[in-house]
């Protein structure tokens, strides 16, 4: 199975909302024992993020380079479903 890359994109790394989302993603990975998943924390003002995704509202989550959640905090179940979908796409 290929690696799954999750990018959590916020205005500021370390903000309360950003940290909450990263913690939820980590909980889902641990709880469901997903393997080969890496989390990258990104700031929306990073030039590389703007070039890759354009101007986007925050918070947002990209999985394997595709924006999956835009401008809102996702539910834990939603994150689980998105990771499962990415896992199935890699089979």
Summarised one tens digit per residue, pLDDT across range 37-64 is 999 999 999 999 999 999 999 999 999 9
Q: For residues 89 and 65, what is the distance between their CA atoms, to the nearest angstrom?
A: 13
pTM, two decimal places: 0.94
Q: Are strands 60-63 and 4-10 parallel, antiparallel or unpaired?
A: antiparallel
27-39 pLDDT, tens digit each: 999 999 999 999 9
Give the residue, 90 or 48, on which the prediction is more confident: 48
Q: Which two tokens stand for residue 71?
A: 């401008």
The DSSP secondary-structure symbol of 12 reads S
Q: From start to end of 1-91, where are the E strands?
A: 4-10, 37-43, 60-63, 66-70
pLDDT score recorded for residue 1: 57
Averaged pLDDT of the chain: 95
């Amino acid at each position: 199975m290929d690696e799954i890359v999750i990018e959590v994109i916020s205005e500021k790394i370390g903000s309360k909302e950003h940290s909450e989302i990263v913690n939820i993603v980590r909980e889902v990975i641990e709880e469901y024992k997903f393997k080969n998943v890496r989390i990258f924390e990104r700031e929306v003002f990073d030039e590389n993020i703007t070039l890759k995704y354009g101007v986007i509202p925050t918070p947002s989550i990209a999985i394997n380079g595709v924006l999956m959640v835009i401008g809102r905090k996702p539910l834990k179940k939603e994150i689980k479903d998105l990771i499962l979908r990415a896992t199935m796409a890699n089979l």
